[in-house]
Amino acid sequence: MAVHAYRRPRAAGGFGVLIMVATLLAAPAEARKYPGFAPKRPLVQKATFPSPRPRASAGVTRSGRAPGVSRYCAAALRGDRNAQFELGYIYAVGRGVRRDDALAAAWFRKAAAQGVVQARNWLALLRVKSKAHAVCRDDSSPHFGPVRSSAANPARGPIVKLVRSLAPQYHLDPNLVLAVVAAESNFDPSARSDKNAQGLMQLIPATAERFDVKDAWDPEQNLRGGMAYLRWLLQRFDGDVWLALAGYNAGEQAVERYKGIPPYPETRDYVDRIAGWLNR
C-alpha cells in the first residue's frame, strides 16, 4: 500500500466552507471517523436512466462535452428525487454552469420533499429564497434569450402565447421553439414549402403522421407535432441542441451518417441562424 505524506489543507473561505460542511453532513457516520476522509461530494444514490437503444450516433455531440444538466433534466421533471438532488448540486457549486443558489434551492426543495436528507442539509446551508419554479438552465448549451420582435421575426401575438403555453409540456425552452418557428415559417400558419412541408413548424406529411398530427394547418396541432419531434431529437442526440436542430432540418439519418452537423450549406446556415438568435 502506498503511503502518502499528509498535507494540511488550506483554509477554505466563504462558500468553500459551506461546501465542506454540507459534504460532511451528507456523508455517513463511519466516513467521518477517519482523518483525511473527505468525499468530494455528498454521497447519494445516483439517478438511474434507461440506456438508449444502440445506434450509430450514440454519444455524438458537436462539442464533445459530457452530458450534464441535460442528463438529469428529463428525469428530474418526471419527479426522480435523485436527479432533482443532482441538479441542485450542479447549480449550488457551479459544476459546468453558472452558480445559482436560488435555482439550486428550488431543486433541493423538491428533492427534500421526497425525503432526500442531503437536500435538506443543503437548504439549511444555502439559506436563500428558492425560485418559484425549478427549471433546467444549461449554460453549456446556447443561452435561450428572448427571440426579439422585428419585421422579419414577428415574435409576438397569439402564436407566441400558444408556444409559451405548450413548450413546457414537452420540456422545451419556449424561446428555442420560437426560434425554430421563425426559421421554418416566419410565423405563417399557411406556409408551404416546395417539398410540401406545411404550417408553422413545416411538417412534411410523413412527420405529421409519425407524431399523430391530423391537421398540419391547425396551428396548435402543428406546434405540438413539431415540438414532439424536437423533443425526440434532443433525446436521440443526448440533449445536444445543435445536433437536434440539424436533425430537424436535414433528418436524423443525415446527422448519424456524418456523426455531426451535415455539410449541407442549407443545414449549416439554418443552425447558425438559430444560434445567432438564441445567443444575441
Burial 141-179 (b: 16+ CB within 10 A, else e): bbebeebeeeeebebeeebbebbeebbeebbbbbbbbbb
- pLDDT tens by residue, 173-215: 998 999 999 999 999 999 999 999 999 999 999 999 999 999 9
Helix axes 174-185, 241-250, angle to 10 degrees: 30
Report d(CA 29, CA 25) in Å as an integer: 9
For position 177, what pLDDT does the model report? Answer: 94
CA dihedral 183, 201, 174, 74 (to 10 degrees): -120
> How many CB atoms are closer than 10 A to CB 266?
10
**Average pLDDT value for residue range 11-28:** 50
Report d(CA 129, CA 226) in Å as an integer: 36
- pLDDT tens by residue, 127-144: 888 877 777 765 554 444
**pTM over 0.95, yes/no:** no
Q: Where in the chain is the domain with CATH 1.10.530.10?
A: 158-279
Contact between 140 and 133 under an 8 Å Cβ cutoff? The reply is: no
pLDDT tops 50 at residue 32: no
Task: List C-alpha distances in Å: 178 to 35, 144, 151, 172.
Answer: 54, 10, 15, 11
pLDDT tops 60 at residue 64: no
- Name the band, by pLDDT with cuts 50, 70 and 90, for residue 15: low
Active site residues: 184
Second CATH level (architecture) for the domain 158-279 = Orthogonal Bundle (1.10)
